[in-house]
Structure 1
Amino acid sequence: MTLHCAVLDDYQTVALSLADWSAVAGDVEVRSHARHLATEDEVAQAVGDCEILVAMRERTPFTASLFARLPRLRLLITSGMRNASIDLEAAARHGVTVCGTASSSEPPAELTWALILGLARHVVEENVALRGNGPWQSTVGADLHGRRLALLGLGKIGVKVARVGQAFGMDVMAWSENLTDERAADHGVVRAASLDELLEAGDFVSVHLQLGDRTRGLIGERELRRMRTTAYLVNTSRAAIVDQSALVRALHEGWIAGAGSDVFAAEPLPADDPLRDAPNFLGLPHLGYVTRRNYEGYFTQAVEDIAAYLAGSPVRRLT
């Protein structure tokens, strides 16, 4: 019997070309969905015939109610080895095996610097002016050398961001609830004594924390007002760490110089979201992990996960 597999949220329609699916071609019929399925009704209608689903990061929440509406589903694969949008207990109750893939930390670290540099040197504004025959040199850039890079989180991505900041000649400091003086010192970083100290000292504040009960809404109005009016905030982690309404106010009222974000509370970003029109805001459509090498790894390992499951020995299981 041929099984049916759907790749969800394949926005660029590259899932079937960036991996060799021939290893499972005799057993599995694979299709991809480029359009985001925004509701459980849409998901159930579009892929209710599938025994296997491949999800991209946390774009599609797999809740208990959705699992109940996908009775044929037996294998769910997510890119990465962590996905807060999958109810693993519900998956187990419905007999669904959940597996993951490797995920590189280099691409989001690199994109963090695209946002920092884009904000500091007004790249988008100057490019639009040049292409539209607008004013020649209308902005004055912010320096990196000699300024302070303030990192919320010093994990795998934070460490990589810190190294680049040091190469630019920046002073780097970091804070998280679990960060120790020893780990900070190992990476040539000063540990801030508190979140307030970090925010007050940073010229560029970059978020690299996991989303959880302790970090949800961590940066709200109070915290944004503690930042310098000349400082920039960058978030390539999770939108819910920063209060989005407070961020919009901060940009409109000039509490900070600007902000860059690759993550949003609702994705794709609704057309009427106020961040789209916020001044001094540089937004990207969640591209942090979207690189050819990362995608090749995701989909190649998705094929491996399917083959292993069909052989009766699932690999890279999420529990």
Structure 2
Amino acid sequence: MRVAVLDDFQSAFGRLDAARRLDGHEVVTFPDAVTGDALVERLHGFDAVVLLQQRTALPRDVVERLDTVRLVSQTGRNTGHLDLDALAGRGITVCAGGAGSAAATAELTWGLVLSALRHLPAEVSRLREGRWQGSVGTSVAGLTLGVYGLGRIGSRVAAVGRAFDMRVVCWGREGSQARAREAGYDVAPSREAFFAGADVLCVHLPLTQETRGIVTAADLALMKPGALFVNTSRAGLVESGALAAAVAAGRPGRAAVDVFDSEPVLDAADPLLALPGVTATPHLGYVTWDVLESLYGTAVEQVLAFAAGEPVNVVAPTRP
């Protein structure tokens, strides 16, 4: 089979054990992202496509022009970026399995929090430019950490906050609130109190139809001028344009983000990147060697199973 591995920005796939399992198949990796006509042209001649998380979308207008692809092997179970009906209609099998790492994303969350509060990007740049200290940082000890969504990732973030002697206050659905009380964390008396009281507020929710835009401009306007809003989940959880406008207005005064409305962000083409109060990374939450090995390992397993005529983790079976 000819296999296309998309969005291999770091050219990492070939260095993984998972890649060696495809010996005997022709594998081509692509270190950049394309859409529309360019994506259709890129996939011509390939039998299988390996997708990394939700990096590349396959909408109907692309799917209906795929003339050789027979398999989409998705890393992770999220298929919201795929037109499953269109894929099934074209006789293309979709297999989606595996999961990312809660630990890796929680680690990056704290990396962003500490980088933002201690002005690390700016201080590193100053030192490389031959200059010495230029800022005064903020210690997290004694601050209030707000955790919106106490699931796999939020629970890890909250535990680190407790270890740093922060007061941890949680908000979310009944399940999150119940887990918070069981763990000994505070639960905010109201949504308004949660946003208004946090010094550092982290959002850890899946992006669904119910959660899209769940953080509104009104929520952000309640935050303290010195507060830090952190999003390592999905940009769509925040009302479109609201975060950039809020930071520009000074409530909250700072933000740290790993996710954007349109990715990849090239040429700094996102309003958040123009704001000095924003610390940002290019969606690195899951980008560690162990997580990539796990994700791609599942994707390769799906390719091999399909080639053997026994597909696994099928979410859009080929229609007769």
Shorter-normalised TM range? over 0.9
| 1:14-93 equivalences in 2 (<5 Å) | 14-26=12-24, 28-37=25-34, 39-93=35-89
Is residue 232–residue 285 contact of structure 2 (8 Å, CA) maintained in 1?
A: yes
CA shift, 1:157, in A, is 0.7
| Partner residue, 1:5 | 3
Name the CA distance, whole Å, in 2 between partners of 1:171 and 1:256.
Answer: 19
User: Tell me, which stretches of 5 or more residues in structure 1 are unaligned?
Assistant: none
Q: Distance in 1 between matches of 2:282 and 2:19?
A: 28
Q: 1:20 deviation in Å? A: 4.1
Q: CA deviation at 1:180?
A: 5.0
- In structure 2, the residue corresponding to 1:302 is in which secondary structure? helix
CA distance in 2 between partners of 1:182 and 1:276 (Å): 37
Relative to 1, partners in 2 of residues 1:117 and 1:22: Cα closer, same or farther, differing over 3 Å?
closer
Aligned to 1:316: 313
Residue 268 of structure 1, CA deviation: 1.7
- Tell me the alpha carbon deviations over residues 96-147 of structure 1, each in whole angstroms, 9 at most, x when there is no partner: 222223322211111000110011111111111222122x332221221111
Does structure 2 conserve the Cα–Cα contact (< 8 Å) formed by 1:252 and 1:279? no
* Aligned partner letter, 2:100: S
Deviation at 1:22, TM superposition (A): 4.2
Q: Is the 8 A contact 1:82 1:318 kept in 2?
A: no
Q: Deviation at 1:83?
A: 3.0
3-state secondary structure, aligned to 2:55 = coil
Give yes or no for the alignment of 1:113 onto 2:110: yes
After superposition, residues 279-290 of structure 1 pair within 5 angstroms as 279-290=276-287
Q: Does 1:254 align with 2:250?
A: yes
Please list every run of 5 or more consecutive structure 2 residues that lacks an aligned counterpart in the other structure.
Answer: none
Secondary structure of the residue that 2:210 maps to in structure 1?
coil
1:182 aligned to which of 178, 181, 186: 178
Paired residues of 1:9 and 1:59 also in contact (CA < 8 A): yes
1 CA distance for matches of 2:40 and 2:105?
Answer: 31
Q: What is the alpha-carbon root mean square deviation over aligned residues?
A: 1.7
CA distance in structure 1 between the aligned counterparts of 2:303 and 2:22, rounded to whole angstroms = 7
Matched, 1:160 2:156: yes
Q: Tell me if structure 2 keeps the 8 A contact 1:260–1:283.
A: yes
TM-score where L is the length of structure 1: 0.92
**Residue 274 (structure 1) shift:** 2.0
* Match in the other structure for 1:127: 124
In the alignment, structure 1 residue 197 sits paired with structure 2 residue 167: no
Query: Using a 3 Å threshold, how does the CA distance of structure 1 residues 180 and 220 change in structure 2: closer, same or farther?
Result: closer
1:264 aligns with one of 250, 255, 260: 260
Please give the secondary structure, in 2, of the residue aligned with 1:16: helix
Q: Amino acid of the residue matched to residue 314 of structure 2?
A: R
Aligned residue in 2 for 1:240 = 236
Q: CA deviation at 1:288?
A: 0.5
- The CA deviation at 1:278 is 0.6
CA distance in 1, matches of 2:177, 2:21: 49
Partner of 1:224: 220
Separation in 1, partners of 2:182, 2:129: 48
What's the secondary structure of 1:77's corresponding residue?
Answer: strand
Q: How many equivalent residue pairs?
A: 314
Contact 1:258 1:280 in 2 (8 A): yes
